[in-house]
Structure formats: C-alpha cells, structure tokens
A and B are shown apart, each in its own frame.
Chain A
Amino acid sequence: MRRVAIIGAAQTRFEARKASLAYNELVYGVVRELLDRTGISMREIESMVTASQDAYDGKTISSMAINEVVGAYLKSEAKVAADGLQALLYGAARILSGEFDLTLVVAHCKESEGQPSAITGLMFDPFLQRPLGLEELIAAALQARRYCRRRGVRPEDVAFVAAKAHCQALKNPYAQRAGAFTVEDVLASPILADPIHELEAAPRSDGACAVLLASEWRACQLTDRPVYIVGIGNCTDAYWTERDLAEARALQEAARRAYAMAGISDPAREIDVVELSARYAHEELMAIEALGLHTSPVEFITQDRAPFINPSGGPLCGNPPTVSGLVRVVEAYWQLRGEAGERQVLGARTALAHGAGGICGQNQTVVILRRA
C-alpha cells in the first residue's frame, strides 16, 4: 500500500473562551499558521476534510461557516460529524485513493458558545435516558466507578494521573490548564459527579487545529522530514447501556488493527510517545490496558514506564470536543520531528495518537505515526 505523510501541523492555544473570534476567524488563524509554517500555498491544496459538530456550533451544517477559510471554494471538502481523528482517517483515505496529493484536515469547536451539559445530553436515548437529565459527565462517573472497583484502582491512583497531566502541561504553551498539582490538590478539587473531581475532567475549551497530509512522493518534494501514518484502526462499540463499561473492547480492537497495519507486535517497546484522548483521568488507565502497554496501568504510571503518555498534558489541560483526537496528532507530529520544545521526548521515532467519540468512548480511533 502507498503511504500517507504528515507534512505540517498547527494548533491554537486552548482557552475557556475565545470571545473575540468568530468561527471563520478562529479557523482562518490556524490554517494561516499552517500555511506559513510549511510555505505551501492554498492553491496547491486540492482537498479538505473538516471535523465539527452542529450541536456545539449551534448551526445546522457547522462546516458552512468555515468552508471558505479552509480554502474549499470550488474544491472538494467533506465534514465528518465525529472526532477530529476520524477526519484524519478520511483525509488519509483520500490520499491513498490516488486522487489527491495534498489534503488539509481541520477541526474546530467553541464550547463556550453553547451549553455543553445540554449538548452532551443529546447523545442519550430519547425514550429511557433523556427524561433522567443525563449528560456525558454522569455516564463517565458511572464508568469510572465501575472500572476502578473492578480493577482495584484507588482514588489516589486516578488523582495521580490528573496531577501528572497538569504538571506536564506547564511545558505546553498551548495548554489551557496547568499547574504543579499534587494528588492531594486533585482530591481536594470539587467533585463534579462522584467519583470524578474537577481536575480529573477535561475543562470546557475553545480552539482549533490543522494538519496537512501528503502523498509519499509529494511529501518527499516538500520536506526532508516527513512523518508517516503507518497504522490506522477504528472500531465502534455497543451503546453505553448495552456493554460492560469497565471494558474498552472497541479501543482494543482499534489498536489491534492499527498495530497489525504498522507491524507492531510489542507496543510498549516499539512506541515512544502516546497521545491519548482521555477526557477523564480514569480513561487514561483504561487505555493503557486496552492498548496493551501494561497489564497494571497503576504500576505503569507510577513507575514512569515507557512509552511517554501525553507529553502535551492531554485533554485534562484543554479539550475542545472534536478537536481532541486531531490535536493528539499535532503533538505527536512535533514530537517525532523533534520540535516539541521543553516537552520533547528524546529520540521519539514512533507515536500513537488516540481519538474517541460518543458516550464513554463508544467509537475509538488509533493512529500510528513514524518518522522517516
């Protein structure tokens, strides 16, 4: 099979409220930065895949507001109403089809403009669950409780994940929330929905990011340090009330497919950097197991095992929905190019980017990236 390269990436700073920017301005800013960094003109880019959600944007066909600024006039653009990493997958498929050599992938969200609790409530079964006033956080709390009990994970262990993330984010200039928090600080933060504390849940964020994909031959013309997409996997689980929430079968399956494609047999040894879309701290522990990095995730994180998880700080430090999975690729790309500044993981050759969508991660995506 042909290969797809990533030849550029950009992201905005994540903030609680970018009040001065309309959607087209937010997205134009990040696309402009990508073009400036890569020196590629919009005329050369033939195809675009975007990710956004109508419910967050308060606009039917949310992509209408940004088609022009992503350069789609008379060109081929499509919008996935899913996590941004799904947009990357479709962009890769477009390149692999042989029809396009350059494809721009963009994701945006401004959580500040709507009412996130009400919006995530729209994911719930209209007959049995919406009358109860559920939202994503409540389902995540039920999952956290069940997973921790099943696996003997203590509240301190989950809090450790959150503390680590916020310390790491001190090195990330794009992070929205960072701090030298301790386990005690995390456990002292308000409980949002028992057992989830405020610092164990992703904050509400505004932001956007963009990635430029190229066919292998075009990438070689445009950069001497391309990063290749060498494995992809996606998998859909059953609806949240129709599966065991302590398990992450869809993530296991998505990882299995991505590893097979990338020829990875021992992920803990072969992967250097992992960027996880863990929007709640317990999800990081679940993912470490599901990705086959370690059978005891608590031991893994407390003993500082490799690979390095979330050098960016991860979603707990800023997480515009739908941008979440794609910005993992932005960070992984910088890590593999040695451009991650203070948070650089030395000698990183192979990275894993993870994205999730739906209640309790019903749809899971895994992408393996490798530097040339």
Chain B
Amino acid sequence: MSEESPTLRIDFLLDTEYQYAVGQYGMRFFTGLRDHARFMGVRCPECGRVYIPPRPVCGICYRELQEWIEVGPEGTIVGWTVVRIPFIDPMTGEQRPVPYGFALIRLDGASTSLYHFLDEADERKIRVGQRVRAIFREKREGSLRDVLYFHLLEG
C-alpha cells in the first residue's frame, strides 16, 4: 500500500457509566469533609505514618489501620505546577480554564500528600515548602471538590 492511498477509519463512541463505591474508609473521610469541613486520616499502629487518603492497610507494615485522626487544614507544598495546556475535566466533561495552579500538598499531621488546586497561577509566586490552607465550599456534598482550592499563606 502506498502512503498516499486514502485510509478509512471507523468512528466509535465509547460511553459507559461507572458507579464507583467510595468504600468504608472513604465514607468516613468524605462525611467528615462534608459535615465538618475536616480532613480525617488513619494512623499505622506500627510505623506511625498517617495516611491520606485513608485506607484499610499500611502498605509498608501491612498492618490494618483503625486509628482516625484529624489532619490539616493547613499544609505544605511538596510539588507544584501551573497548568497551561487544555485539560478536559473528567467530572464535568468540560475544559477547565487555564492557567491554574496545581500542587501536591502535605497536610499538617499527614505522612502522605494529596493533589489539589491552588488559588495562584503565577509561577514566580509559588515554591516548594510554601504553606497553604484549604478553602472549603459553603455547600458541601462529600467529594474532594468540597475543597475549592488551597490558598497560599504569606511567608
């Protein structure tokens, strides 16, 4: 076949829905977020690591996790970026306006980090180690979107 010969393609729209179970650990976390604007993590009885997201087992010690403790709402930036490429928001199917700040945030008291948005989109104003605070929505529904974004604190 020559490179120039016309090619045919079949278009196929894949549209299937999923209903993901949040699970028992997730239920506790998201109800805490929704009802009290609180981040709840779980602590490993062996190594003491505090996990966000909460989960059934510490992967490092393979110990079951049952001790719940509150973490945040302030934290520290572990890594960050300012996204300038278009990205379709998987929750809405619409393009999220660019640019926006995006970071991996270690909540105070947690051993692991969460991704979330920042209220700053200027590369010169964001750095690793900077302090941030979660800004919650007034009306919360039990999802990570109950946090609007993290606000950069001075200093």
Contact = CB atoms under 8 A, between A and B. Distances in A.
Instruction: Please determine if A and B sit in direct contact within the complex, based on CB atoms under 8 angstroms apart.
Output: yes
Contacts of A69: 55-57, 59
A265 interface: no
Contact of A113 (B19, B56, B59): B19
Given A28-B56, A43-B62, A69-B56, A114 B12 contact: no
B25 interface: yes
What does DSSP make chain B's interface, helix, strand, loop or mixed? loop
A16 to B, nearest CB: 13
Interface in A3-52: 18-25, 28, 32, 41-43
Given A69-B56, A71-B62, A73-B59, A21 B12 contact: no
Contacts of A58: 16, 18, 20
B27 to A, nearest CB: 8
Contacts of A32: 64
Contacts of B94: none
Interface centre among A25, A58, A72, A73 (most CB of B within 10 A): A25
A153 interface: no
B1 interface: no
Contact of B57 (A19, A23, A68, A131): A68
Contact of B21 (A20, A43, A122, A130): A20
A20 B24 contact: yes
B153 interface: no
A361 B21 CA distance: 30
Nearest to A56: B18
6 contacts: A28-B56, A43-B62, A69-B59, A110-B21, A112-B19, A126-B12
A130 B22 CA distance: 32
A126 B57 CA distance: 41
Nearest to A130: B12
Contacts of B23: 20-25
A113 B18 contact: yes
Nearest to A31: B57
B57 A28 contact: yes
Interface string A86-126: 00000000000000000000000010111100110010001
A123 to B, nearest CB: 13
A42 B62 contact: yes
Nearest to B18: A58
B21 A114 contact: no
Contacts of B60: 73
A69 B62 CA distance: 8
Contacts of A126: 10, 12
Contacts of A110: 21
Query: Which 6 pairs of residues, A with B, have the shortest CB-CB distance?
Result: A22-B23, A58-B18, A68-B59, A73-B59, A42-B62, A28-B56
Contacts of A73: 59-60
Contacts of B24: 20-22, 25
B21 A21 contact: yes
Contacts of A43: 62
Interface in B91-139: none
Contact of B16 (A24, A41, A112, A119): A119
Nearest to B58: A68
Contacts of A114: 16-18
B47 to A, nearest CB: 12
A22 B62 CA distance: 18
B21 A19 contact: yes
A333 to B, nearest CB: 23
Contacts of B73: none
A317 B23 CA distance: 25
A29 to B, nearest CB: 8
Interface string B55-86: 11101101010000000000000000000000
